[in-house]
Amino acid sequence: MSDANADTEFTIDVYYDDDADRSQIDDKTVAVLGYGSQGHAHAQNLADSGVDVVVGLREDSSSRDAAESDGLRVATPVEAAAQADIVSVLVPDTVQPSVFEDIKGELEPGNTLQFAHGFNIHYNQIQPPEDVDVTMIAPKSPGHLVRRNYENGEGTPGLLAVYQDATGTAKQEALAYAHAIGCTRAGVVETTFREETETDLFGEQAVLCGGIASLIKQGYETLVDAGYSKEMAYFECLNEMKLIVDLMYEGGLGAMWGSVSDTAEFGGLTRGDRIIDEHARANMEAVLEEVQSGEFAQEWITENQANRPKYWQLRAQEENHEIEEVGARLRGLFAWAEEDEETEDESED
Ligand code: NAD
Ligand code: MG
Ligand code: MG
Ligand code: MG
Ligand code: MG
């Protein structure tokens, strides 16, 4: 899309506890559909914040026992939606369209459909009625951390977006929801369904999951093909990745460059851009275009409709890569070594 940025004005508004008006949610009932990573955390945090919660799960769901033993009320998704003012859709993204078909008859004017990721709304897999609010509160972390941080009195940063504001109070209610699950303790950034969806997909494909896994495999194969030992290749190309990323997480690229040797800094600065060069950049732009045009979304939807033939094949291929076998063996040895060195408490690079 040539006008990629035209309707996505880049603004950063960050909201904290004081920006939220809890009266927007305190007297409402929230149906949390799904009790997985995000669902269990949202449901328990909302309940501990004093909000009325009902968890929506299928009759035969294996999550029912967990939700009930966590002290939560459980109903079917349809029953839960019928009772709720806010329906928080936290079943897997690929399942959301069919769950929405089941519950849409229970949405009353002024109710809210709430998401933690924009895929189905942005790519029109869910078409909500015009008289409901459609919002997103997306914690930027896995659910177990959303729960653990809340219990520790800390927060988890999150994103807020409003797709449809039928009531005129969609954003205030979303902020109150973010407050009740602990996100405004850490900070909530406003975005759009489009921006959240497209940056999330691009990031996981090009850099985080896809890009980094391919970088590691290519590096490993280059060393092993040149006759170096598999173990050394594993350490250099995979194991040390965490140490480097931890430094970036703490203090950006500068903390990483500052901590490695000057030799590593000079070698990295002169060679890095030769590896991830203008071809990689052109490929990234092509991948981004497939995200923006909906081509990737369509491929994934079709793949799911066909019961994921390519997905299962690629997963098996990745599991069978030599680096996985080498890694499993070495990590076993590492755990051993760590136990022995417990008293020395100093890790070494
Ligand atoms: P999940 O896979 O961990 O859990 C989904 C739960 O939905 C299951 O535990 C089950 O209780 C229920 N479920 C599964 N299949 C179902 C079906 N056919 N019908 C009804 N219920 C079913 O899901 P998740 O990772 O928590 O993702 C939920 C949403 O949160 C998604 O939109 C996802 O993109 C978003 N999100 C996830 C994370 C994360 O770290 N996991 C982070 C941010 C946003
Ligand atoms: Mg309702
Ligand atoms: Mg994602
Ligand atoms: Mg080194
Ligand atoms: Mg240095």
Q: For 300-327, how does the pLDDT look when each residue is reduced to its tens digit (9 = 90+)?
A: 999 999 999 999 999 999 999 999 999 9
Q: What is the pLDDT of residue 13?
A: 85
Catalytic residue among 40, 42, 117, 122: 117
Going by the annotation, the residues of the binding site are: 35-38, 58, 61, 63, 143, 200, 204, 236, 240, 261
| Ligand 1 atom at minimal distance to the Cα of residue 39 | 26
- % the chain with pLDDT above 90: 91
CA of 275 to the centre of ligand 4 (A): 18
Neighbours of ion ligand 2 (CB under 5 A): 84, 108, 111
The pTM of the full predicted model, rounded to 2 decimals, is 0.91
Question: Whole-angstrom Cα distance, residue 328 to residue 234?
Answer: 10
Is 117 in the active site? yes
What value of ipTM does the predicted structure carry?
Answer: 0.95
Structure tokens at 226: 């040149």
Kindly list the protein residues whose Cβ atom lies closer than 6 A to any atom of ligand 1.
Answer: 34-39, 57-58, 61, 63, 90-93, 95, 99, 116-117, 138-139, 142-143
Q: What is the pLDDT of residue 333?
A: 87
Q: Walk me through the domains of the chain, giving residue ranges and CATH numbers.
A: 14-190 (3.40.50.720), 200-340 (no CATH)
Task: Point out the ligand nearest to the CA of residue 82.
Answer: 2
In this prediction, residues 108-115 reach a mean pLDDT of: 98
CA of 89 to the centre of ligand 3 (A): 15
Question: Whole-angstrom Cα distance, residue 46 to residue 124?
Answer: 29
CA of 39 to the centre of ligand 1 (A): 7
Going by the annotation, the residues of the binding site for substrate are: 261
Q: What is the pLDDT of residue 184?
A: 98
Question: Whole-angstrom Cα distance, residue 224 to residue 222?
Answer: 6
DSSP assigned state of 86: E
CA of 259 to the centre of ligand 4 (A): 12
**Residue 285 pLDDT more than 80?**
yes
Q: Which residues pair with 73 in a beta bridge?
A: 54
SS (H, E, C) 7-25: CCCCCCCEECHHHCCHHHC
| Ligand 1 atom at minimal distance to the Cα of residue 120 | 32
